[in-house]
Structure 1
Amino acid sequence: MKRRTWTIVTLILVLVLSGCSFPSTADPSSSNKKITLTLWYWNRSIDDQLLQKAKEQFPNINLVTQKIGGDFKSKLKTTLAAKSGEPDIVAMNDWVMELFPSQDRFYDLYELGAAEVEDQYLDWKWKQGVTPEGHMIGFPMDTGPTALFYREDLFKEAGLPTDPEEVHQLMSTWEDYRKAGLTLKEAFGGKVFMYDNIENVYNQIISQSDKKYFTPEGDFIGDSNKAIREAWDMAVAFNKDGLIANADGWSPEWNAGVNKGKIAAFVGAVWMKQPLQEAAPDTAGKWRVTRAPGGDGNVGGSFMAIPKSSEHPQEAFEVIKWLQNPENQLTMLKTTNLFPSTISAFDSSTIRESEPFFGGQATGEIFAESAKNVKVSYFGERYPSVHGIMSRWLNNINSLNPDTAFDEAMQRVERELKR
């Protein structure tokens, strides 16, 4: 009887211990049970062919990809509010900071192993996906480093330097750039402009600053931040001097301006290369790129997150980590023109490829240097609403008193913040 009892106890122990050796679902490739993960993204935010490869990479995951059209942000916010129908993985644009107050609705990616790959990514980009409380909700996707786009032939005709390095030396500050704009204006009798629109001047200067409208503690500093006022004053000065074409981005006027030689230059993010080439086919070979006046900035770029409703967060994170690893980010640079956030990608031959539209220049080298030098800065969840007010006031500057417009805009911002 004792021997039989001991045998039963031994069998129970063996069964319990053997349970510890079952495959962990933390490794999607090791489990025999197939799970389903749903991924939301918008057109060209992730390479479609790469998503197909992801399905092969994780055979034990049924990866359902949904390309969301229309207002992606509104759909996501509405779905989160309804607490129903949320995906397991979701792409986010640079409005990720608007969801910081809802950090409890997303998994902290640090808890899923994100810290193990942190050193592979640009520091400033990584920190943009981390809340002030240290909760990482956004994993780095692409970036939008900025540079100065300019027409080499128009600069030459105006008597300005044309070599990218010489242009940067002459126009290293925004004040230098403004002076060069006056030279260009005079050379063409005021018919060719140094910039596209006043809002873009302001946006680009703000993007170069390490301080914006808020502190990480949530305090508003827009009215005391010297960089904000300097950006405003410089944008107003460009407008007053007649250096702006008044062509809004993504408009027929902008397309015609860059194609017909009305717009000779502008500061823009790397993703503006494609819209420029599509809008100005007649100018192929005439554009060049150099470092932006005033310093390096970033506009745009995306992130990936995992809503708390997901039942398989570890598996979802493994998919994200694979999709956005250095090799795959380099693939998306080649196929979809998504500029990497992984540091090692900047040493690739792809970055050094010459581009016929830009006269054979390897513009990737310029944008890579810009990306490496973007300053760490905090935006805050109310950045979009505040920045939108400032932009609207600037766009109406010609109908306002320029001496009081800034203070009036700040008063409007303060009313908005009290809501």
Structure 2
Amino acid sequence: MSLTTRRSRLAASALAAITAIGGLAACGNDDEPVAGEKPGKLVLETFGEFGYEELIKQYEKDTGIKIELRKTAQLGEYRPKLVRYLATGRGAGDVVALEEGILNEFKSNPRNWADLAPLVDDHSTDYLPWKWELGKAPDGRLMGLPTDVGSLAVCYRKDLFEAAGLPTDREQVSALWPDWDSFLQTGRTYKQGSGGKAFIDSVTAVADAALFQQGADLFYDKENNIIAGTSPAVKTAWDTAVSMADISAKVATWSPEWSAGFKQGSFAATFCPSWMLGIVADNSGEENKGKWDVAAVPGGGGNWGGSWLAVPEQSAHHEEAAKLAEFLTSAASQVEAFKAKGPLPTHLEALQDEAFLSYTNEYFSDAPTGKIFGESVSKIEPIHLGPKHQAVKENAFGPALRSFENGQAGEDEAWQQFTKDAEIQGAF
């Protein structure tokens, strides 16, 4: 047995032990429901922007149940909270969003999650088939109801493009970069025309986009052995990213400098899965409305992100929580969430809804985002992420790339740092 395999199995055992504690401790929840009594409040826990604010108001009006929305901006801060909730058996929301990497990790102990199948109607044929199946735990229970899926594009500042002598029409902009080499050359043209300004926010954003285009094993193989240092898909994404260092603003995604950079024009383009649209708009502010637009991503489409809504076993209100999750993931709700903040629907009825297909985003220069992102859905394929994908990406892949981007390490040194850290993060 290889060291990687032994570490992976030890890690799985450790996580199972920790989350089992959560399952046992959940039995001691003080908020025990009273039979036949409707809860006064449910807690909904999400990260980033799901577009649920107006939907929550509607649900409160329809049911009389108060919904407390707890949002965490960064996924890297969100996951440790969930781990702590499971370990202690208390603190989690009644409904929690699980990003695809987190979902895979928590499947190692599905007993921490209520089986939604007996609590909601049969929706097994309502969603993208692979998305529905990924929401199931190894023991067959329905761990999560599908929310959104990622679909790649490029968000760009038309005013900054124009000032640098580049075209601004979204079709012409898309034609500038059919592949990554063309994207790099466009970035250098922009830098020259703008007097040396950065074209993109960071090389880690490039790496994320390129990584999720690969459609192959990334940090893990199908047996969940860590292959980060030998994966062709990972190396391709790495090489693509490091080539862009000279056109980067070198601001880490989700950092205060990154958030401020949208409003300040510190960079002219960033990579936008559909769910990123609301984040770009919020960071850029009302004063930049109409300055942004949406173009195609170089190298073809890809699947970056996507989530499910789950009900922790420790919740005292399984039935009502499941009904809330069912409401938020319905076809009508997915269309409204998309219009509000951009999460791309996975409900088949929503994807055929004229309100979705014809939707244009006023903030992004009336870009036909329903058409842009909707046309890519049928091409999206599931990617095998492995149990600790998020930890490897955020604690090994990203930091190593940033150390190179910031001049703290050469490319070879940074790659060696990544492969070493990947073994540690992926196993423990």
Query: TM class by shorter-chain length?
Result: 0.7 to 0.9
Q: Which amino acid aligns with 2:240?
A: M
| SS of aligned partner of 2:373 | helix
Q: Which amino acid aligns with 2:70?
A: I
Partner of 2:180: 174
The reply on whether 1:293 has 2:294 as its aligned counterpart is no
Partner of 1:263: 267
Partner Cα distance (2:219, 2:255) in 1: 28
Change (3 A) 1:407 1:219: same
Partner of 2:230: 224
CA contact (8 A) 1:38 1:89 kept: no
| SS of aligned partner of 2:105 | helix
Picking from 367, 371, 383, the partner of 2:389 is 383
| SS of aligned partner of 2:355 | coil
The reply on whether 1:406 has 2:415 as its aligned counterpart is yes
Q: Which amino acid aligns with 2:327?
A: W
Partner of 2:280: 276
Partner Cα distance (1:415, 1:279) in 2: 34
Aligned-pair CA distance for 1:315: 5.9
Partner Cα distance (2:422, 2:306) in 1: 26
Change (3 A) 1:402 1:319: closer
Q: TM-score, normalised by structure 1?
A: 0.78
The reply on whether 1:121 has 2:121 as its aligned counterpart is no
Q: Which amino acid aligns with 2:390?
A: P
CA contact (8 A) 2:174 2:296 kept: yes
Partner of 1:304: 309
Alignment of 1:237-386 (within 5 A): 237-239=243-245, 242-251=246-255, 253-255=257-259, 257-280=261-284, 281-309=286-314, 313=318, 316-335=321-340, 337-346=342-351, 347-386=353-392
| SS of aligned partner of 1:396 | helix
Aligned-pair CA distance for 1:151: 2.6
Partner Cα distance (1:310, 1:274) in 2: 29
Partner Cα distance (1:214, 1:418) in 2: 11
| SS of aligned partner of 2:237 | helix
The reply on whether 1:42 has 2:45 as its aligned counterpart is yes
Partner Cα distance (1:144, 1:37) in 2: 34
CA contact (8 A) 2:51 2:340 kept: no
Alignment of 1:122-161 (within 5 A): 122-131=128-137, 134-156=140-162, 158-161=164-167
| SS of aligned partner of 2:336 | helix
Aligned-pair CA distance for 1:197: 0.7
Q: Which amino acid aligns with 1:276?
A: V
Picking from 190, 201, 204, the partner of 1:199 is 204
| SS of aligned partner of 2:250 | coil
Change (3 A) 1:204 1:128: farther
Partner of 1:12: none
Change (3 A) 1:250 1:104: closer
Please give the per-residue CA displacement for 1:238-282, whole angstroms capped at 9, x wherever unaligned: 11xx11111233445435544444412121223333343344444
Higher Cα Rg: structure 1 or 2?
Answer: 1
Partner Cα distance (2:316, 2:293) in 1: 49
Picking from 57, 66, 69, the partner of 1:67 is 69
Q: Which amino acid aligns with 2:169?
A: D
Change (3 A) 1:357 1:134: same
Change (3 A) 1:130 1:216: farther
Aligned-pair CA distance for 1:324: 1.4
Partner of 2:5: none
Picking from 205, 210, 219, the partner of 1:213 is 219
Gap runs ≥5 in structure 2: 1-34
Partner Cα distance (1:209, 1:359) in 2: 30
Identity %: 28
Partner Cα distance (1:294, 1:133) in 2: 38
| SS of aligned partner of 1:214 | coil
Q: TM-score, normalised by structure 2?
A: 0.76
Gap runs ≥5 in structure 1: 1-31
Partner Cα distance (1:148, 1:290) in 2: 5
| SS of aligned partner of 2:192 | helix
Picking from 96, 100, 111, the partner of 1:90 is 96
Partner Cα distance (2:38, 2:265) in 1: 55
CA contact (8 A) 2:204 2:253 kept: no
Partner of 2:12: none
Change (3 A) 1:336 1:289: closer
Partner Cα distance (1:152, 1:391) in 2: 28
CA contact (8 A) 2:44 2:93 kept: no
| Equivalent residue pairs, number | 381
CA contact (8 A) 1:132 1:216 kept: no
Q: For the aligned residues, what is the CA RMSD? A: 3.3
Change (3 A) 1:176 1:119: farther
- Of 86-95 and 287-296, more deviation after overlay is shown by 86-95
| SS of aligned partner of 2:383 | coil
Q: Which amino acid aligns with 2:267?
A: I
Partner Cα distance (1:111, 1:374) in 2: 29
Partner of 1:394: 401
